[in-house]
Amino acid sequence: MKIVEVETFRVRVPLHPVSWHSANIERWSGSWWDLPIVLLRMTTDSGLSGLGEAPKGVAESTVRQYAPLFTGRDPFDLNWQHLPIGDIWSPASGVEQAYEMAVYDLVGKALGLPVHQLLGGAYRSRVRGSLCSGQMWPDDAARRARLAAELGIDVLKMKANLGDPVVERIAAINKAVGTDVKVTIDAGQRQRHPRHVLEIARGLEPYVDNIECFEDPVSRSNLDWYVLLREKLNFPLALHLGNHQDVINAVKREACDYLNLGGSMNSFEQGTAIAEAAGMPVWHGSGVGLGISEASYVHACAATKATTLSSDIVGEMLRVDDLIVRPLAFEDGYFEVPQEPGLGVELDEDALERFGVR
């Protein structure tokens, strides 16, 4: 079996109007979610095709640049370490994810196996999901928490800039749903100094049972601050990390309680193995992608023992379309792990036509 064609498709799928930020709130991530996403289809001489998806913002020309590395190759005879696809610091960062998805999708279909079997087998048959939002006023945060509760979701992730009404949000959520929905406060490193985090923590003392964790409160480059905060906070501290050396450093310093990891499926497995050895729970991060990438997340989460926290597999809930024919099965806060060969998803050609951009 040989790969004979690699096609790319550039799409822009908007968020639901009320799914992210509150109106009239100062925001720090307003346009990031509008960036185009590049999908990939890899076809073989046997007629099988595999699907992939690059993270939003990666240029289509960058994705296409690596197609010659795959055309003419047998997907069963590839080693990722021999393929010079960009690491996390290069302009091609994320491209390997798209090609990895497509190759695994192809190989799974050829063998009649779901991707999680290629990753070592499913440790779990269902994967916990969270609900995410941007920066919200307290009333909107309460409504979002009620929606999470209705969906059976027990973790709501919310962005938090310096000066945001974080305590007021948590108080409103507590009033709306009690402690049925816990909150991951994602500051995106924007609290600037530990004293700002500790001020918030003092205000949150009555609502400790509402807090899942505080993610990336200050700059990730200063692990001394994280060690200090972990000693002083009375709820878990999390780091969102993108390469294995950072995971090793965080584990060695005991700088956090939880890890948010992502990347390609193989990279996620490797990072999670480090966390598992340290006894540190993990969840899968997200760029609020589409159905192809989110299927790969579900397979990777299913295959990794340490992925016990609610993962940010949220694009299907936040975007107006996922560009797959049949949405990922989701019930009572959990994604069912696909059992069909490959990733278990099919590209929606009508949606591709509707949301395609050039």
At which residue do the structure tokens 């936040």 appear? 318
3-class secondary-structure state, position 60: helix
For the packed helices 223-232 and 194-203, what is the interaxial angle rounded to 10 degrees?
20
DSSP-assigned letters across all residues of 295-341: HHHHHHHHT-TT--SPB---HHHHBS--SBSSPPPEETTEEEPP-SS
Going by C-beta distance under 8 Å and a sequence separation of 6 or more, which residues neighbour residue 319?
13, 14, 15, 16, 288, 290
The runs of H, that is alpha helices, within the chain are: 60-65, 95-111, 115-118, 138-150, 166-177, 194-203, 223-232, 244-253, 265-277, 291-302, 315-318, 349-355
The pLDDT value given to residue 283: 98
Instruction: Tell me the one-letter amino acid at 283.
Output: W
The ranges of the chain with pLDDT < 50 are 89
- Whole-number CA gyration radius for the chain: 20
The pLDDT value given to residue 358: 79
Q: How far apart are CA 96 and CA 152, in angstroms?
A: 34
CA distances from 259 to 38, 56, 100 (A): 27, 22, 23
Q: How many residues are recorded in the chain? A: 358
Q: Which of 11, 13, 66 is nearest to 42 (CA)?
A: 66
Going by C-beta distance under 8 Å and a sequence separation of 6 or more, which residues neighbour residue 252?
none
Q: How far apart are CA 52 and CA 296, in angstroms?
A: 9
Q: How far apart are CA 50 and CA 48, in angstroms?
A: 7
Which domains are delineated in the chain? 3-112+349-355 (3.30.390.10), 126-336 (3.20.20.120)
Q: How far apart are CA 285 and CA 261, in angstroms?
A: 6
Helix H or strand E encompassing 44: strand 37-44
Helix H or strand E encompassing 123: none
Read off the pLDDT of residues 280-290 as tens digits, 9 standing for 90 and up: 999 999 989 99
Q: Which of 263, 171, 261, 189 is nearest to 226 (CA)?
A: 189
Read off the pLDDT of residues 78-99 as tens digits, 9 standing for 90 and up: 887 777 776 554 556 689 999 9
The pLDDT value given to residue 16: 83
Q: How far apart are CA 201 and CA 141, in angstroms?
A: 18
Q: How far apart are CA 262 and CA 269, in angstroms?
A: 9
Q: How far apart are CA 295 and CA 353, in angstroms?
A: 21
pTM over 0.85: yes
